[in-house]
Structure 1
Amino acid sequence: MKKATILSALAILSLVLSYFYEVAPTGEPAPEQVSLVTPYAINTPEDMLRAIEWHQPLPAEEPREEYYVKSLGLRFRNPDYRELVEAASKWIGTPYRYGSSSKRGTDCSGFVTSLYQEVYGINLSRSSRSMFQDVARVQKDSVRTGDIVFFRRSAKSPISHVGIYLKNNKFIHSSTSKGVMVSSLSEPYFRKRYFAAGRVN
């Protein structure tokens, strides 16, 4: 039994070595040897099998189907965002109405709280200022779909506006002039007033 185990180990070792080494033709220098590096010691045939599995390439990620949300004018690939962006798209054109949070009329924080409740069942604070306390800060270059973006009129002013980030620097919000719409963080008005982004965990 012990002899069979040793023979098995030698056979596996031979297989591994044949995979990691090439025999150079006569007269040519042998290629640089490659050692089989693993995060653990190889002492048994079982360890050798684990080493072989550890060196197998990871399976390629399956391509994600792209979907286009017409009213937002954006294409998405991550299926995790589909419910959010499709629900958000149905608010486009809703008129601005201070203190309200329905599709008959909504202000900026009412829109964000209603959408988060509708999609995730999460109750955020109703005002944009207190909502900022409900999120974890995110760097601007790390913002992703569904994060909340906050604005203020000046560096010393409190938070006065809020929206939900979509992608490609675009976000959806309820503006006082046009109601629920998609705007860009690159627009001078929002670039000047951008304060921070936050993620609801």
Structure 2
Amino acid sequence: MKNTLLCCLAAVSLALSFFFDYAPDGKAATAVGATGPIAEASLFTFPDGDNPASFRDSLNVGYYSQALGIKADFDDNASLLRTITEWLGTPYRFGSNSKKGTDCSGFVTRVFKEVYGINLVHSSRSMFNNVKRVGKDEMQTGDLVFFRRGPGQPIYHVGIYLKDGKFAHSATNGGVMVSSLQQPYYQRNFYAAGRVNVN
């Protein structure tokens, strides 16, 4: 309990330090990007306009990174990380895309709809045909990773790249989880990565 409280206080302190510059010469602190000095910090001022969800997400990035097993930064896509975290443990169900059960492409379509408002086709092969290819060494958080069982074989699996060589996906033997591209099975069957235009 004591460690949890200390972690929470440290996270809040770190988050507030992003919004205010300290003036050691006795001048008032100014908000980053503000036009003039401010006397005090407001608990109701959010970094993304008036979006409290964005502020909450930025504070919770540490939680998301721990849940997903990655080293996330405060400037990472917190909304994407939050949404994937909420799907962890959803059982696998072929042809479905709900939290009662989902297959790999169903999981990807739901996450992209929830985070970006983008409707992707519920098919890993169709997704592959509608992304911009990126090199394995150029992958970014949110890119799609595709798998096939050897040369000439069709794509059979898709996931969402996180970082640190890890990706989120719905596996037939465990549902929505985070796996590593370095695991022999995924390393052997990895085919390509692609980027969806989310703008």
Shorter-chain TM-score: which interval? 0.5 to 0.7
Equivalent residue for 1:124? 120
**Aligned 1:161-176 pairs, distance under 5 A:** 161-176=157-172
Name the CA shift for 1:83/1:184 in 2 (closer, same or farther; >3 Å): same
Same amino acid, percent of matched pairs:
57
Gaps (5+ residues) in structure 1? 1-63
**Aligned 1:29-44 pairs, distance under 5 A:** none
Cα shift at 1:79: 2.7
- What is the root-mean-square deviation in Å for CA atoms of aligned residues? 1.6
- The code of the aligned residue for 1:164 comes to I
TM-score by length of 1: 0.66
Aligned residues: 138
Distance across 2 between alignment mates of 1:120 and 1:134: 16
2:71/2:164 contact within 8 Å kept: no
- The code of the aligned residue for 1:195 comes to Y
- Return the match for 1:76 from 72, 79, 82: 72
- The code of the aligned residue for 1:177 comes to N
- The code of the aligned residue for 2:84 comes to A
Gaps (5+ residues) in structure 2? 1-57
Structure 1 residues 83-125: Cα deviation after superposition (integer angstroms, max 9, x where no partner): 0011101111000000000111000000000000000000111
Cα shift at 1:154: 1.1
Equivalent residue for 1:95? 91
Equivalent residue for 2:156? 160
Runs of 4+ in 1 over 4 A off after TM superposition: none
2:92/2:176 contact within 8 Å kept: yes
**Aligned 1:1-201 pairs, distance under 5 A:** 67-68=61-62, 69=64, 70-201=66-197
Distance across 2 between alignment mates of 1:180 and 1:99: 14
Equivalent residue for 2:5? none
TM-score by length of 2: 0.66
Distance across 1 between alignment mates of 2:187 and 2:196: 23
Equivalent residue for 2:28? none
Distance across 2 between alignment mates of 1:115 and 1:137: 20
Distance across 2 between alignment mates of 1:74 and 1:149: 17
**For the pair shown, which has the larger CA radius of gyration, 1 or 2?**
1
Cα shift at 1:67: 3.0
Distance across 1 between alignment mates of 2:72 and 2:59: 9
